[in-house]
Amino acid sequence: MEEKKVEIVKARSDKREYRRIILQNSLTVLIISDPETDKCAASMDVGVGNYSDPEGLEGLAHFLEHMLFYASEKYPIEESYSKFITEHGGFSNAFTSSEHTNYYFDVNPDSFEEALDRFAQFFIKPLMSPDATIREIKAVDSEYQKNLLSDVWRMSQIDKHLSSKDHPYHKFSTGNWDTLEVRPKEKGIDTRQELLKFYEEYYSANIMHLVVYAKDSLDESQKLVEKKFQEIRNSNRSHVRFAGQPCSPEYLQIVVKSIPIKEGHKLQIRWPITPGTLDYKAAPSGYLSHLIGHEGEGSIFHILKKLGWASSLWASGSDCAPEFAFFQVAIDLTDAGQEHVQEIVGLVFKYIDLLQQSGACKWIFDELSSMGETYFHYQDKIPPADYILGISSNMRLYPPEDWLLGGLPSEFNPDIIQLVLNKLNPNNVRIFWESKKFEGTTDSSEPWYGTSFSVEKITGSEIQQWMKRASENQLHLPAPNLFIPTDLSIKNIVEKAGVPVLLRKSPCSCLWYKSDTAFFFPKAYVKIDFNCPHSRVSPESAVLTSIFTRLVMDYLNEYAYYADVAGLYYGIANHYDGFQVTLVGYNDKMRTLLETVIEKIAKFEVKPDRFSVIKELVIKDYQNLKFQQPYQQAKIYCSSVLKYPTFPWTDELEVLRHLEVEDLVRFYPLMLSRVFLECFIAGNIEPTEAESMIKNTEDIFFSGTPPISNALFASQHLTHRVIKLKKGINYIYAAEGLNPSDENSALVHYIQVHQDDSVMNVMLQLFALVAKQPAFHQLRTVEQLGYITSLGLWQFAGVYGVQFVVQSTAKGPRHLDSRIKAFLEMFESKIYEMSSDEFKSNVNALVDMKLEKFKNLQEESGFYWWEITAGTRKFDRIESEVAALKQLTQEQFVDFFNERIKVAAPRKKALSVLVYGNSHLPEYEADKSVLVSPEFVQIEDICSFKRSRPLYGSFRGGLGHMKV
């Protein structure tokens, strides 16, 4: 084994230790030691991806990624790896990209060594049985079926389709039943043999990069890595390189018009460029995307917004491979913008001309470099699996010293920026334009997803004409960013409480406060809930609240965008009982931003031109609900049945069409006429400053003459609640899928269990932990019902349940529902046969999961804010549930399963939501007549059903919240 000493640059705040080693088989490894971690993790990046798929076997690399999860020679029991990871508090996943494939997992520290051993076998001696091969081809095909109506996948494939056929960029990457089974068979090709050959050829240790994140010391982890991974075969495979650009001249200077699934118009302007990783410290794409994608005054977006032509714009460089990349500008167009695309393209090129004239500006680069450095040194800790996933990808791209830094800008080089800028010219451009308005005018169809499109050639002189038509002279570079933090000191707060304290209360507001006792970063977290009873009295008020919050964000954009860029994030969004203001990030300029946000709300005015744009966007959002995946539709129906009060989205869409400026002008003062402010401030802010921030906010709304707002009456403190289902009944709600083109059907099977209680909570969580992987294995792997198959907890307003979700083209919803019941019957025996050691092991795994420390201020604050808004205020929830777990007996757990979960359990309350896709519509009416029996209750109308059922009581009590 070779070990090369290298100084890996790490953040000043990072206490972890790092070591790079190279094993004797030439596997490059980064070991990370973090004695404080609650989870250990590993990520293996293999230097081969879908660009290497053999001709006629599209999707083989992706298929191999699926297959490695099944079994290995050392661990031959199918899915035992996934089962082990899940039962020991972890998760695992993988993805296949163009030139690499990444596998990763995390797990509780006590189980890390065995998990790592199982993981290593992926790359040593996997078993790829013929039976498993056929089953997993079906899973790959199910994943493809899921993506068929996704505009992201469809438009990406058109981009690939319109490239040189002899370049791998052109390929179809995911694979399906046709490419992996039907076509190979017709040619006498054995897919499994090709799979084995592909593995032997490309899975070589010398083109792999491994990151191991452990609790142990570097020396101990190094021994473990050497022991587990040195058996990976090294065939001295060289990295596959794909020379040349994918876009020959025939695929440049084109306008591609395509028809999307969803409502809306999109424009993408793309140029092939030199990959940024070659000059990553100069960050040319980062510099240009910062300017072209800017949203402040003088930017492309600022002008498009003023004209009412665009609702969003972003720009970025994307490195597709070491040899080529693209730079793109993506714009969401309004209906008006759809009529002015030539001027919009002209405006983009005019801004690029401005950049050419101004040249690369050092002060702008220095700003980016400063923000990048601050971000790096004060980056929040994130879950280990997420952290190492980025690093293992970086190991392919950067020298070892920069594996953690990645591509942060650090060396100003105007010549390199100029080289990329020169590529953004009219002779090198590809324009992709999506709109349903092109229906009936296209002449081609993309073969894999069936997207209709047409291609037109354009010339540089035509684009020059478009630039002249875009006679906008208000374009200019952004101003210096005043939100870049300058004070990064940590405040010396004397009294530090471990949980939130009620710092301030009045008839109009309450402030919960928690100082930073764990992270010691110059960051803060602010939440202000504006509880407005008038915001949720009707579908009209719900929609007007939504338009109001989006308009406030719209008005703030050109000013507050600078804060966003500088790491101070803000948001205003409608919420259950009104709307919510959120600020997260560096505390230095947070108060300034909060005051601006509050002022925009208090002095709100309805601008007719912006109202019409936002209304158009909201209408499209509602219309696009019907294009959601069927399982997402089923989850919406499930929530609609259970949550009270809610309005059907169809009602909201109906009233939305008729709302005008005058309606919002009348509604806004009424909405704010009665308000209660529920607030939470945490982090690097002193208690006096937190009090002052909320007092100032309260004064603005409640102290004027006349005041904007008045305190709520006791009777107005209402809250969302949950419908109580009846014991011993399985409720059924069936609906046709909203998109007649979607072949997928879906089922959500929900079991309502209890209202917040420590012992019941942990028993339900333990069931979900024990049943999650077996359910996935049985329903997806064995029965091949569908790619989307999951089991998880559902909790709202303190009411807990468990939810099975399955989406399928193979079987209809009623069959899926019957298979959930069959699984529970099969699983019953596993519950009864569980050994005491296995029970203890699962309990310990759940204890470890609960005792995981919060990774960052936002994660910690999110936990406490949930307790505050739910009304439960159990700030010691973790400790009380861990105590309950440690007292839990196996007999209690079995009794819980028998009483509340198993088929025909006496206290079971179940709801099955069935969504019928196009391929199963013939079953819809027939199933409705079958599902009539004493144990089934059909829900014909959700609103009528909700009126007929009692509600769980609310936890929202105390100051400002009457217990109901």
Active-site residue set: 65, 136
Residues 6+ apart with CB under 8 A from 162: 251, 254, 256, 430, 455
Residues 6+ positions from 932 with CB-CB distance below 8 Å:
938
Which residues 6+ apart lie within 8 Å of 75 measured at CB?
81, 118, 121
User: Across the beta sheet with 729-736, what order do the strands follow?
Assistant: 789-796, 799-808, 745-755, 909-916, 729-736, 936-938
Which pair of tokens denotes residue 143? 């994943």
Q: What are phi and psi of 768, to 5 degrees?
A: -60, -40
Residues contacting residue 227 through CB under 8 Å, at least 6 positions apart? none
Could you tell me how far CA 181 lies from the centroid of its own chain? Answer: 32
Query: Helix, strand, or coil here: 532?
Result: coil
Residue 852 DSSP one-character state: P
In the structure encoding, which two tokens stand for residue 488, read together? 């990064």
In this structure, the strands spanning 909-916 and 17-22 are unpaired
- CA–CA distance from 734 to each of 380, 632, 816, 903 (Å)? 44, 14, 13, 21
What would the DSSP string read from start to end of 677-727? EEEEEEES--HHHHHHHHHHHHHHHHSSSS-S-BPPPGGG----EEB-PPT
- Cβ atoms of residues 533 and 674 within 8 Å: yes
* Helices 539-565 and 300-307: angle between axes, nearest 10 degrees: 160
Q: How far is CA 60 from the centre of its chain?
A: 27
**For residue 607, what are the contacts with CB-CB under 8 A and spacing of at least 6?**
551, 555
* End-to-end CA, the chain: 68
Half-sphere exposure of 380 (CA within 13 A, CB side): 17
For residues 564 and 816, give the distance between their C-alpha atoms in angstroms, rounded to a whole number: 45
Nearest residue to 520 via CA among 541, 499, 493, 502: 493
Report the candidate in 307, 413, 312, 281 with the shortest Cα–Cα distance to residue 360. 413
DSSP state of 933: B
Task: List Cα–Cα distances, 248 to 163, 167, 429, 430, 433, in angstroms.
Answer: 7, 10, 12, 11, 20
Burial of 645 (0-12, 13-18, 19+ CB in 10 A): middle
Three-state DSSP at 281 gives: coil
208 and 47 Cβ atoms separated by less than 8 Å: yes
Give ∠ CA 46-49-53 in degrees, rounded to 5.
135
Q: What is the four-CA torsion angle of 811, 812, 818, 823, rounded to 10 degrees? A: 40
Do the beta carbons of residue 406 and residue 440 sit within 8 Å? no
DSSP sequence for 473-499: ----PPPP-TTS----PPP--SS--SS
SS3 646: coil
Give one DSSP letter per residue of 214-273, joined into a string: ESS-HHHHHHHHHHHHTTS----PPPP---S-S--GGGSSEEEEE--SSSSEEEEEEEEE
R_g of the chain computed on alpha carbons: 29
